[in-house]
Amino acid sequence: MSAIADNIKVIDQRIRVAAERAGRDRSDIVLISVSKAILPGDVEAALAAGQPIFGESKVQEAKAKIPVVSSRARWHLIGHLQTNKARDAVALFEVIHSVDSLKLADELNKWSERAGKTQAILLEANVSGEASKFGLKPEDLESTLKAINQLPRLEVRGLMTVAPYTKEAAEARPYFRRLRELRDALGLRDLSMGMSHDFEVAIEEGATLVRIGTAIFGERKRREPSE
Ligand SMILES: *Cc1c(COP(=O)(O)O)cnc(C)c1O
Which residues in the chain land under pLDDT 50? 226-227
83 lines ligand 1 (CB under 6 A): no
What is residue 222's predicted lDDT score, i.e. its pLDDT? 58
120 lines ligand 1 (CB under 6 A): no
214 lines ligand 1 (CB under 6 A): yes
Considering the chain, what is the average pLDDT of its residues?
96
What is residue 1's predicted lDDT score, i.e. its pLDDT? 65
Ligand 1 centroid, distance to 113 Cα (angstroms): 30
Ligand 1 centroid, distance to 81 Cα (angstroms): 15
Q: In terms of DSSP bridges, do strands 30-34 and 209-212 run parallel, antiparallel, or are they unpaired? A: parallel
Q: Which atom in ligand 1 lies closest to the alpha carbon of residue 79?
A: 13
Cα torsion 32, 37, 40, 46 to 10°: value is -30
Cα dihedral sign, 193-224-104-135: positive
pLDDT in tens, 12-56: 999 999 999 999 999 999 999 999 999 999 999 999 999 999 999
Domains and CATH numbers, the chain: 3-217 (3.20.20.10)
What is residue 147's predicted lDDT score, i.e. its pLDDT? 98
User: Which residue CA neighbors atom 6 of ligand 1 most closely?
Assistant: 213
Query: 136: which DSSP letter?
Result: B
What is residue 187's predicted lDDT score, i.e. its pLDDT? 98
Question: Percent helix, strand, coil in the chain (nearest 5)?
Answer: 45, 20, 35
What is residue 221's predicted lDDT score, i.e. its pLDDT? 76
Q: Which atom in ligand 1 lies closest to the alpha carbon of residue 214?
A: 8
Report yes or no on whether pTM surpasses 0.85: yes
pLDDT in tens, 209-218: 999 999 999 9
